[in-house]
Amino acid sequence: MREIVLKEEAQPSESVIYCGEGAFEEKLPAAVEKYPQKFIFTDTTVWNLWGERIKEVLGDIPVFAMPAGEEHKTEETLFALLKAMAAAQLHRTSCLIMIGGGVVGDVGGLAAALYMRGIACFQVPTTLLAQVDSSVGGKTAIDFYGVKNLVGAFNQPRAVFADPCFFETLPPREVRCGIGEMVKHGALSADLFEKLTARSSELAALSVPVDLIADNIAFKASVVAQDAKESGLRKSLNLGHTTAHALELALKTKSHGECVLLGTIFEAEMAKCEADCDREYLNELIALCKEVLGGIPALPNASEWTKLALLDKKNTAKDAVVITAPLRRGTYRLISLPFEDYAKRAEEIENKLC
């Protein structure tokens, strides 16, 4: 079992992330024992699969299960949860235990920040994406007014319990989704890149070694520790995401993580135009993305999806697209491309890939 401590620069408190077998069954009950009232927040899919096991581990405590899926990451779900917490008469001294994927973590973390101006929360991430990415760093949110993550707060859980036992029931698509974010971390850290390339065939077979999960958590925790409120370094975690978000909107059938892998391929190709890039490394990164993707899927014509990249939050000028591009091992750079150039390069890359 690895214990990763997340200590933010300007914060007195710290939070621990337990990663490994036993995190859920052994560490969680001990951590929440002192709270007089506990409340579980989960989704219906996780509850149907894991409810009995959760009851064995935590005992008979109140539960609220939201319908599963991003489309329910809404104010209705947030307020339904807050109502259930009020009905259970939770106090300042109570704690909320979020058990599920990134959606449950994001909505539950926000509810815990709002209820009585803040109660303790603990997170048990049950998807690979939630373990290596969303449960680390205290960002919480709901989608609002048609905009993803528009309303939220920073609220670090007291502790996170990342246990591989949950992967027993995780569909392959969700595993690949998490691998996409692991590769993104690899494009930001030379050390992780070595580890991921050395294990690429395991990853391509969707078998994810626990030590690699812990390494990814430790990497994200180190980025968050230096820049909890995303004023600089934490923005690097958007690598590949400008193109990924455009592809996600256009493709619909591909998961977020698969689009991150595709986005990283496009943006690594675009980075080859930078004078100080390492082409050999960029080719290795592209090969890794292709291997874990299991090939390039059919893509709509670039002219259809590239304009969606203009919607990205990182863009600072009206007709320019900003990408966080990989450059050399462990090095990235924000590059602003006039939209015409971005679209033209994307089209050339797409013709070469497909």
Catalytic residue among 117, 252, 318, 352: 117
Torsional sign, CA 313, 317, 323, 328: negative
Footprint on residues 144-173 left by ligand NAD (CB under 6 A): 149, 166, 169-170
Residues in the chain: 354
46 near ligand NAD, rule: CB under 6 A? yes
Footprint on residues 123-142 left by ligand NAD (CB under 6 A): 126-127, 129-130, 133-134, 137, 139
Phi-psi region of 89 (alpha: psi -120 to 50; beta: other; left: phi over 0): left
Burial degree of 100 (CB within 10 A; 0-12, 13-18, 19+):
buried
Give CA angle at 158 (191, 75), nearest 5°.
100
**Nearest Cα to 73, choosing from 180, 150, 177, 176?**
150
Of the pair 70, 280, the CB lying nearest ligand NAD is at 70
326 near ligand NAD, rule: CB under 6 A? no
Of the pair 184, 345, the CB lying nearest ligand NAD is at 184
Catalytic residue among 8, 174, 181, 267: 181
Rounded Cα gap, residues 331 and 317, in angstroms = 24
Whether 352 is catalytic? no
Whether 241 is catalytic? yes
Rounded Cα gap, residues 67 and 71, in angstroms = 9
Site string for ligand NAD, 51-80 (x = CB under 6 A): -----------------xxx--x-------
Among 19, 63, 78, 106, which residue sits at the site for ligand NAD (rule: CB under 6 A)?
A: 106
CB of 99 to ligand NAD, least distance (A): 9
CB-based contact 242:321 (threshold 8 Å): yes
Among 6, 40, 78, 103, which residue sits at the site for ligand NAD (rule: CB under 6 A)?
A: 103
Catalytic residue among 241, 254, 258, 269: 241
CB-based contact 65:43 (threshold 8 Å): yes
DSSP SS3 for 32: helix
Rounded Cα gap, residues 32 and 261, in angstroms = 37
Whether 256 is catalytic? yes
Whether 173 is catalytic? no
Site string for ligand NAD, 205-224 (x = CB under 6 A): --------------------
- Contact residues for ligand NAD, defined by CB under 6 A: 43, 45-46, 49, 68-70, 73, 100-104, 106, 126-127, 129-130, 133-134, 137, 139, 149, 166, 169-170, 174, 177
